C-alpha cells in the first residue's frame, strides 16, 4: 500500500494576490542571490550596435546634382586630410611619419646628419651628370669622366662609413638603452645624407653648422 507524502510547508504555492505582487517586485528574493533578471529584449548584433552609435545613415541623394555636390564635398575633405598628413609628416610628427622615421633616436640621427654638409649629398646630381656624359657622343669626355666618377664614389663610400660610426657612437652616448643596431643607424644616416636637402622628409630642423 502506497502512502501519500505531504508537501513541505515552504514549497506550498501561495494563492494570495498580495504575495504574488511581492514576488513580482522582488524577483531576486524568489530566485536567489545569483539570479540576474532579464533585460526584457534581445541582445542587439554588433553591426546594429555600431550603426546606432554612429547615428542614422544619411539619406540617399535625391538627384544627380545633389550626388555630385556630395562627391565634391567628400573629395575636398579627403584633400584637406591628405594635406594635413603631409604637413605633419614634414614636421616630423610621430603619428604621421613612416615607421622607419619614428622615435627620438631617429629624430636625433636626422638632426645630426642635417647639421653637417656631406659629400654623399652629391650622389644624385653626380648620377645625373654621369648619365648625361654616357649619352653624349663625346668619347674624350667619357674617357676622363669615368675615373673621376669612380674616385668620387669611393670618397662617398669612405665618408658614409665614417658617418655611420659617428652617428652610432653619438646615439649610444645619448640613448644607452636603445635597441637599434649600429648597421641600421649607419644606413639610415647614409640614406638621409645622400638625399638633396630640400627633398628630405621629414624636413630638416637644423642648419649646417648647428651644434647637436
161, 178 contact by CB (below 8 A): no
The whole-number pLDDT of residue 115 equals 93
Among 162, 166, 170, CA closest to 119: 162
- Read off the C-alpha cell for 1: 500500500
- Please indicate, yes or no, whether residues 141 and 180 belong to a single structural domain of this protein: yes
Residue 195 lies in a domain: yes
- Please indicate, yes or no, whether residues 113 and 88 belong to a single structural domain of this protein: no
Each residue's pLDDT tens digit, 111-128: 999 999 998 888 888 888
- Please indicate, yes or no, whether residues 188 and 109 belong to a single structural domain of this protein: yes
- Please indicate, yes or no, whether residues 151 and 172 belong to a single structural domain of this protein: yes
The whole-number pLDDT of residue 206 equals 92
DSSP state of 148: H
Each residue's pLDDT tens digit, 159-194: 999 999 999 999 999 999 999 999 999 999 999 999
- Please indicate, yes or no, whether residues 190 and 106 belong to a single structural domain of this protein: yes
Residue 132 lies in a domain: yes
The whole-number pLDDT of residue 78 equals 80
Q: Collapsing DSSP states into helix, strand and coil, what is residue 123?
A: helix
DSSP state of 135: H
The whole-number pLDDT of residue 1 equals 46
Residue with cell 547615428: 55
Residue 56 lies in a domain: no
**Domain limits for position 68:** 64-96
- Please indicate, yes or no, whether residues 135 and 172 belong to a single structural domain of this protein: yes
| Burial tier of 186 (Cβ tally within 10 Å: 0-12, 13-18, 19+) | buried
The whole-number pLDDT of residue 165 equals 94
- Please indicate, yes or no, whether residues 117 and 162 belong to a single structural domain of this protein: yes
The whole-number pLDDT of residue 30 equals 46
Residue 83 lies in a domain: yes
Residue 208 lies in a domain: no
Count of domains in the chain? 2
Segments of the chain scoring below 50 in pLDDT:
1-6, 8-15, 17-23, 25, 27-31
How far is residue 189's CA from residue 211's CA, in Å, rounded to a whole number?
17
Amino acid at each position: 500500500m502506497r502512502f501519500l507524502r505531504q508537501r513541505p510547508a515552504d514549497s506550498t504555492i501561495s494563492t494570495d494576490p498580495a504575495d504574488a505582487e511581492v514576488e513580482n517586485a522582488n524577483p531576486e528574493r524568489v530566485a536567489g542571490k545569483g539570479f540576474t533578471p532579464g533585460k526584457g529584449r534581445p541582445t542587439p548584433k554588433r553591426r546594429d550596435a555600431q550603426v546606432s552609435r554612429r547615428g542614422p545613415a544619411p539619406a540617399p541623394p535625391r538627384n544627380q546634382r545633389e550626388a555630385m555636390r556630395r562627391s565634391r564635398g567628400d573629395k575636398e575633405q579627403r584633400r584637406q586630410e591628405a594635406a594635413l598628413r603631409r604637413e605633419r609628416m614634414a614636421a616630423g610628427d610621430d603619428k604621421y611619419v613612416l615607421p622607419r622615421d619614428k622615435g627620438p633616436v631617429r629624430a636625433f640621427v636626422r638632426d645630426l646628419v642635417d647639421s653637417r654638409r656631406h659629400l654623399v649629398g652629391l650622389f644624385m646630381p653626380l648620377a645625373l651628370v654621369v648619365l648625361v656624359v654616357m649619352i653624349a657622343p663625346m668619347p674624350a669626355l667619357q674617357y676622363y669622366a669615368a675615373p673621376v666618377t669612380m674616385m668620387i664614389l669611393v670618397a662617398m663610400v669612405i665618408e658614409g662609413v665614417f658617418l655611420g660610426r659617428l652617428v652610432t657612437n653619438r646615439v649610444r652616448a645619448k640613448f644607452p638603452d636603445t635597441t637599434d643596431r649600429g648597421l641600421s643607424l649607419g644606413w639610415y644616416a647614409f640614406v638621409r645624407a645622400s638625399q638633396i636637402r630640400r627633398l628630405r622628409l621629414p624636413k630638416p630642423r637644423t642648419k649646417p653648422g648647428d651644434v647637436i
